A = this chain, B = another copy of it.
Amino acid sequence: MRILVLGADGYLGWPTALHLSARDHDVVAVDNLVRRRWDRRCGTHSLVPIASMERRVERWSELSGRTMGWQKVDMCDADAVTALVRQTSPDAVVHFAEQRSAPYSMISRAHAVETQVNNVVGTLNLLFALRDHAPACHLVKLGTMGEYGTPNIDIEEGFIDITHNGRTDRLPFPKQPGSMYHLSKVHDSHNIAFTCRIWGLRATDLNQGVVYGANTTETALHRDLATRFDYDGIWGTVLNRFCVQAAIGQPLSVHGKGGQTRGFLDIRDTLACVELACLNPPAAGEFRVFNQFTEQFSILDLAHRVQAARQAHGLDTTVAHLPNPRTELEEHYYNARHQKLVDLGLEPHLLEQTLIDTVITRVERIRSRVRPGLFAPRVDWRAREQAFSEAGHLSAGRSARSLVGRHNGHRQAAARAAAR
């Protein structure tokens, strides 16, 4: 299949592009490289050093004998997105190309607006380009389990049968997202569902859990093929952060009581799920939702599992509770269905079996690169002034300017933005 991977410079996008290329799909990697700029603006970095996209693609070609396309495109540049889709005529588009940090989206008004406009407009541009130039193409869109929030009933995969006053309908599962970022994904889901219904597009919304892991079969082949690994308070996901904290002898920082339960999955399962979705497209006009995770844990449970895994290798670990910067329930019911990908053949990597090999060991080797100052949550869901922006890492004005550039549909503005 010819597959576009949008957001191919990201933590998951790059390994996905490699995975699909290794399985003989004709892959075009696409990104605007904004994630590297956000690192500079936020004072954050990838624990694992990453090569440039040019070097990555070249190294992959050299090692695998396969050719991967690479195009620098901003999804908010409508003309560029249209040209990309028209020129490549993809069978599937895997769309990771969004601002994906909840804390980033909560820094300020400008960051909330930047996140929602970037994500919603990028996806709208793609939907119109597909309608006009590749109407049979399958859109595989990364959503998040965070779209559902924590309802007091079982979470279904996208839709729920509701019987009410004697009548029944199958309706979209109600959404209660917990950040400006999660809201942007809810907006995307509604927009995509609508275009499937009116234009007959076909799409799979992958409501993904929290991903952990540092390596995949392909990224482990060479240091130039490594993917990024984030552990800071803005970009880091919880399990990766725990492993880094443990590696440098810091306590694992649990926010609040730690009763927050979420779905988790190994990075290798992300790749498998995306390929399973691609290989099994929905019918024209179908908007399909898969809950993409393999196990669910509470945060405190997760901390204890890291502790136990290290203990088995004679490594000590402590746990500390910090005030929770987010507004969320710390004790709640949580039971989310995740059957559809298993039905398609997913064989999960379970946390217990792989935690030490895939994360802790890897992190131990490069722990000298850890900057402990980055662990602390710097964004509070309730606060008007953020410690983050006070630190001068980022000004709202700068963010607003770059937003306008990236939001403009014209090449000229995109070129200006790229030149910054």
- A residues in contact (CB < 8 Å) with B: 78, 109-110, 112-113, 116-117, 120-121, 124-125, 128, 131-132, 151-154, 156, 160, 162-165, 167-169, 171-180, 183, 186-187, 190-191, 193-194, 197-199, 327, 333, 381-382, 384, 397, 400, 403-404, 407-410, 413
Contact = CB atoms under 8 A, between A and B. Distances in A.
19 contacts: A109-B128, A110-B409, A113-B121, A116-B121, A116-B124, A132-B384, A152-B168, A153-B162, A153-B169, A160-B162, A160-B164, A162-B174, A175-B190, A180-B191, A183-B194, A400-B408, A400-B410, A404-B407, A407-B407
A175 B177 contact: no
Contacts of A198: 327, 381-382
A191 B183 contact: yes
Nearest to A167: B153
Given A124-B116, A169-B152, A407-B117, A177 B190 contact: yes
A194 B171 contact: no
Report copies per complex.
Answer: 2
Contacts of A190: 175, 177, 183, 186-187
Given A116-B124, A124-B116, A187-B190, A176 B172 contact: yes
5 shortest A-B CB distances, which residue pairs? A171-B174, A152-B169, A109-B128, A198-B327, A153-B164
B131 A384 contact: yes
Contacts of A131: 384
Contacts of A171: 151, 153, 174, 176
Contacts of A407: 117, 403-404, 407
Nearest to A182: B194
Contact of A154 (B164, B183, B413): B164
A174 B172 contact: yes
A384 B152 CA distance: 43
A417 to B, nearest CB: 12
Given A117-B117, A171-B151, A400 B404 contact: no
Nearest to A409: B400
Nearest to A193: B176
A163 B171 CA distance: 14
A114 to B, nearest CB: 10
A160 B153 CA distance: 13
Given A174-B172, A327-B198, A407-B117, A167 B183 contact: no
A154 B165 contact: yes
A199 B109 CA distance: 13
A168 B164 CA distance: 13
A143 to B, nearest CB: 14
A109 B199 CA distance: 13
Nearest to A178: B194
Contacts of A173: 174
A180 B186 CA distance: 14
Contact of A153 (B153, B168, B384): B168
Contacts of A78: 109-110, 113, 400
A131 B160 CA distance: 34
Nearest to A191: B183
A287 to B, nearest CB: 11
